[in-house]
C-alpha cells in the first residue's frame, strides 16, 4: 500500500478513505454504549430498581417499621381486594371498548375517505388530549352536578321537576366511566388511524374488483388488517384507566371508587399500609405485563400471517 | 366507485364526526363561558359578564408560585428527557448491535407503566435511599415518563434522515460531535422541538406521580387539585383553566404546523 511514483492521487484517496473506516470501527466499541448508556441507565435506576423495591416490599423482604409482621404469602390479601380489582377491570373494559368503537369510524373516515383535510381534522380530534387532564375532569363536574348544566337544562325544559336533580350523574360509576371515556377518546383515534393509513389501499380495490361489497371488503379485509391498531388502542386506554385514581377521586364518590384509589389510600390515606399497597401495585403490574406480552405475541402472529 | 365509503355512509360518518367534536369541545366551551360569569357558583342561568376571576387569578400569589414551580420542573425534566431521547434514538437508528429489540422495548416500556405504580415505586426507592422529597424527585419521575415519548418522536425522524449526510461530514474530517451539531441536529430539529413540547406539556400537566413525590412545594396540578375541594375557588380555577387550555392548544397546534412546514422545507415528507 506504499505510495508509488505513479497514481499518487489514487493511492492517496484510497488511504484517506480507508482511515475513517478504521477509525469508525475502533469507535464502534464505545459509541453504542455511550449513546445508549445514559438513557438505559436512567431507566435502570429510576424505573427498574423502583419496581424491584415494590416487589421486595410486597414479599416482605423489606419491611417498614411499624407494619404488621407477616409472611410473603399472607401479604397477598388478594381475596380482600380482588372484588374491587374486578370492578375496576370491568369499568375499564367497558370504557376502552366504547371508546374504540366510537374512534374507529372516525379514524376510518380520516384515513380512507380521501378527505383532503385529514391531518387538520386529526389534529382537531387530538387537541383536547393535550389540554389539562384535571381541567377536563373539572368541566364535567360543572356539567354533571346537581346544579350543573344537564340538570339545569332538564329542569328548564320541564323534563324533571325543580328540586329533584338527577343525582346519579355525578359521584357515581357512570360519571367515572363517562369522564374516562371523554379523556381518552381523542388519544385512541391515533393508533387506529395510523394502521388504517398505512394499509395498502390496493387491497380494498382488489376486493371490490373481485365483487366484494363494501361491507364484505370491510369485514374480510380492512377490519382484520387494522386489528393490531385496534388492540393497541384498546390497551392504550385500558392500561392507564384500570389503575386510575384521579378521576374517580374527583367524580366517583364512593360507588366510583376504583382499585387505584385503594392503592393511593394505602400510601397517602389516613392509615398508610405500604406493604399492602406495594402488593396491590405489583399485582396490577403483573396483570398489565401479561396483557402487554399477549398483545406483542398477537402482533408477531399477525405479522407472520401477513408475511 | 369509492371502495371505503358509500355516499350515504360518508354523510352519516360526517354527522357522527361533528357530534363527537361537539362532545369533545362543549365541556371546554362551557368552562370558557363560566370563566366570564359573575356568579361564584358555576351554574346556569348566567348572571352577567365579569373579568373578576381573571383578575383574581392574576393576583393570586399561591397560584403563581405553583405555576412557576411547574414551569421549572417541566423545563428541566423535558430538557433531560429530550437529551436522553436523542442519545437513545441515535443509538437505535445508527448502530447495529445484538439485543437491539430488547433495548428498544426496555426504553419504551414506561409507556405501559401505570402512573400510580411509577409514583409508588419511586417513593419506595427514595425512602430506601433516604432521599428527601423535593422538586428534584418529581423531575426525575417526569423524565421517566417522557423518555419513551421523546424516542417515539425522534426515532422515525432519524430513520428518515439520509445517513450518508452524516457519513459525508465524517469523511470530510468532522468529529462525532461536530457532525451531530452541524448536520444531524439541524435536520432533526423540528422533531426535537416537538419532543420537547410533548415532554414539557406532559410534565406540566402531570398529577399522579407528582402527588406521591412532592415535597413542600406544590406543582400546578397539585395546587389545582387542592383548590377543587373549595367550591368558592371554582370560578378562579376555571379562569386559569381557560388560559392554560388556550395556551397549550395554541402552542401545540402551532408547533405541529411549524414542524410540518419545516420538515417539508428540509425536503422530505413530514412524519405525523
The C-alpha cell at A139 is 368541566
Which of A28, A113, A132 is the closest to B244 by Cβ?
Answer: A132
Number of neighbours of residue A236 by Cβ within 10 angstroms = 20
Q: What is the mean pLDDT of residues A162-167?
A: 73
The CATH number covering residue B119 comes to 1.10.3720.10
The C-alpha cell at A266 is 394505602
pLDDT value at position A70?
52
The answer to which of A59-68, A149-158, A292-301 has the lowest mean pLDDT is A59-68
B183 inside domain: yes
Flag residues of chain B having pLDDT under 70.
Answer: 1, 41, 43, 231, 267-272
Contact B114 A277 (CB under 8 A): no
Q: Which has more pLDDT, B83 or A156?
A: B83
CA–CA separation, A215 and A212 (whole Å): 8
The interface predicted TM-score of the complex, written ipTM, equals: 0.86
CA angle, residues B216, B131, B117, in degrees to nearest 5: 80
Pick the CATH number of A78-306 from 1.10.3720.10, 3.40.350.10, 1.10.10.10, 1.10.10.60: 1.10.3720.10
B204 inside domain: yes
B20 inside domain: no
Domains of chain A: which residue ranges? 1-45, 78-306
CA–CA separation, B2 and A305 (whole Å): 28
Strand-pairing partners, residue B49, are B37
**Best interface-test mutation with A: which of B33, B102, B121, B174 has the largest number of A CBs within 10 A?**
B121
Which of B16, B88, B121 is the closest to A36 by Cβ?
Answer: B88
| Average pLDDT of every residue of chain A | 80
Q: What is the dihedral of CA B85, B86, B88, B91, to 10 degrees?
A: 170
Using alpha carbons, list the distances in angstroms from residue A120 to A123, B121, B137, B195, B249.
5, 39, 38, 20, 13
B147 inside domain: yes
What is the number of residues in chain B? 272
pLDDT tens string A187-226: 898 889 988 888 887 888 888 888 888 888 888 888 888 8
Residue A65 has pLDDT above 70, yes or no: no
Under 8 Å CB pairs connecting chains A and B tally to 247
Using alpha carbons, list the distances in angstroms from residue B5 to A51, A189, A204, A209, B57.
48, 18, 11, 15, 49
Kind and range of the H or E run holding B86: helix B61-94
Is residue B112 classed as helix, strand or coil in its secondary structure?
A: helix
pLDDT tens string A105-146: 999 998 888 777 888 888 888 888 877 888 888 889 888 887
Query: Minimal Cα–Cα distance from B188 to chain A, Å?
Result: 17
Find residues 241-260 of chain B whose CB sits inside 8 Å of chain A: 241, 244-245, 248-249, 252-253, 256, 260
pLDDT value at position A66?
52
Which among A279, A285, A288, A253 is positioned nearest to A79, based on CA atoms?
A: A279
B270 inside domain: no
pLDDT value at position B226?
87
Range of the domain at B118: 36-265
Contact A134 B207 (CB under 8 A): yes
Q: Under a CB-based contact definition with an 8 Å cutoff, are residues A251 and A137 in contact? A: yes
The pTM of the full predicted model, rounded to 2 decimals, is: 0.84
Q: How confident is the model at residue A15 (pLDDT cuts 50, 70, 90)?
A: very low
Q: How many distinct structural domains can be found in chain B?
A: 1
The C-alpha cell 385529514 sits at: A118
B19 inside domain: no
Contact A27 B4 (CB under 8 A): no
Amino acid at each position: 500500500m506504499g505510495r508509488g511514483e505513479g497514481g499518487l492521487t489514487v493511492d492517496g484517496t484510497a488511504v484517506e478513505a480507508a482511515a475513517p473506516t478504521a477509525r469508525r470501527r475502533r469507535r464502534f466499541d464505545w459509541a453504542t454504549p455511550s449513546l445508549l448508556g445514559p438513557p438505559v441507565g436512567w431507566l435502570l435506576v429510576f424505573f427498574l430498581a423502583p419496581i424491584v423495591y415494590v416487589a421486595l416490599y410486597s414479599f416482605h423482604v423489606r419491611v417498614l417499621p411499624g407494619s404488621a409482621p407477616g409472611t410473603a404469602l399472607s401479604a397477598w390479601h388478594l381475596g380482600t381486594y380482588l372484588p374491587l380489582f374486578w370492578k375496576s377491570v370491568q369499568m375499564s373494559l367497558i370504557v376502552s371498548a366504547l371508546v374504540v368503537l366510537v374512534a374507529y369510524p372516525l379514524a376510518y373516515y380520516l384515513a380512507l375517505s380521501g378527505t383532503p383535510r385529514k391531518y387538520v381534522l386529526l389534529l382537531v380530534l387530538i387537541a383536547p388530549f393535550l389540554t389539562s387532564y384535571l381541567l377536563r375532569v373539572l368541566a364535567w363536574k360543572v356539567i354533571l352536578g346537581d346544579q350543573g348544566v344537564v340538570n339545569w337544562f332538564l329542569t328548564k325544559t320541564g323534563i324533571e321537576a325543580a328540586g329533584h336533580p338527577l343525582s346519579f350523574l355525578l359521584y357515581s360509576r357512570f360519571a367515572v366511566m363517562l369522564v374516562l371515556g371523554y379523556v381518552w377518546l381523542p388519544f385512541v383515534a391515533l393508533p387506529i388511524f395510523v394502521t388504517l393509513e398505512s394499509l395498502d389501499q390496493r387491497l380494498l380495490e382488489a376486493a371490490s374488483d373481485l365483487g366484494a361489497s363494501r361491507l364484505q371488503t370491510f369485514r374480510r379485509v380492512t377490519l382484520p388488517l387494522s386489528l393490531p391498531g385496534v388492540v393497541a388502542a384498546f390497551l392504550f386506554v385500558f392500561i392507564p384507566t384500570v389503575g386510575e385514581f384521579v378521576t374517580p377521586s374527583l367524580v366517583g364518590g364512593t360507588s366510583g371508587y376504583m382499585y387505584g384509589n385503594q392503592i393511593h389510600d394505602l400510601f397517602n390515606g389516613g392509615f398508610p399500609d405500604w406493604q399492602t399497597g406495594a402488593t396491590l401495585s405489583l399485582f396490577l403490574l403483573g396483570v398489565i405485563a401479561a396483557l402487554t406480552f399477549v398483545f406483542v405475541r398477537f402482533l408477531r402472529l399477525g405479522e407472520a400471517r401477513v408475511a | 366507485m369509492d371502495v371505503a365509503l358509500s355516499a350515504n355512509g360518508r354523510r352519516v360518518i360526517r354527522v357522527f364526526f361533528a357530534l363527537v367534536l361537539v362532545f369533545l369541545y362543549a365541556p371546554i366551551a362551557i368552562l370558557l363561558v363560566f370563566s366570564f360569569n359573575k356568579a361564584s357558583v358555576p351554574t346556569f342561568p348566567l348572571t352577567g359578564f365579569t373579568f373578576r376571576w381573571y383578575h383574581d387569578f392574576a393576583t393570586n400569589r399561591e397560584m403563581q408560585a405553583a405555576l412557576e414551580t411547574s414551569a421549572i420542573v417541566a423545563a428541566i425534566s423535558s430538557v433531560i428527557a429530550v437529551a436522553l431521547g436523542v442519545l437513545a434514538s441515535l443509538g437505535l437508528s445508527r448502530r447495529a448491535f445484538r439485543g437491539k429489540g430488547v433495548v428498544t422495548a426496555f426504553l419504551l416500556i414506561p409507556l405501559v407503566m401505570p402512573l400510580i405504580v411509577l409514583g409508588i415505586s419511586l417513593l419506595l426507592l427514595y425512602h430506601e435511599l433516604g432521599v428527601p422529597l423535593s422538586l428534584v424527585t418529581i423531575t426525575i419521575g417526569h423524565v421517566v415518563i417522557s423518555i419513551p415519548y421523546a424516542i417515539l418522536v425522534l426515532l422515525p425522524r432519524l430513520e428518515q434522515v439520509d445517513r450518508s449526510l452524516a457519513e459525508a461530514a465524517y469523511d470530510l474530517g468532522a468529529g462525532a460531535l461536530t457532525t451531530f451539531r452541524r448536520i444531524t441536529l439541524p435536520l432533526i430539529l423540528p422533531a426535537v422541538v416537538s419532543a420537547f413540547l410533548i415532554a414539557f406539556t406532559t410534565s406540566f400537566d402531570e398529577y399522579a406521580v407528582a402527588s406521591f413525590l412532592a415535597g413542600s412545594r406544590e406543582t400546578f396540578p397539585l395546587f389545582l387539585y387542592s383548590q377543587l375541594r373549595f367550591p368558592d375557588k371554582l370560578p378562579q380555577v376555571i379562569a386559569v383553566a381557560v388560559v392554560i387550555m388556550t395556551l397549550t392548544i395554541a402552542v401545540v397546534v402551532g408547533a405541529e404546523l411549524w414542524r410540518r412546514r419545516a420538515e417539508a422545507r428540509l425536503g422530505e415528507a413530514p412524519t405525523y
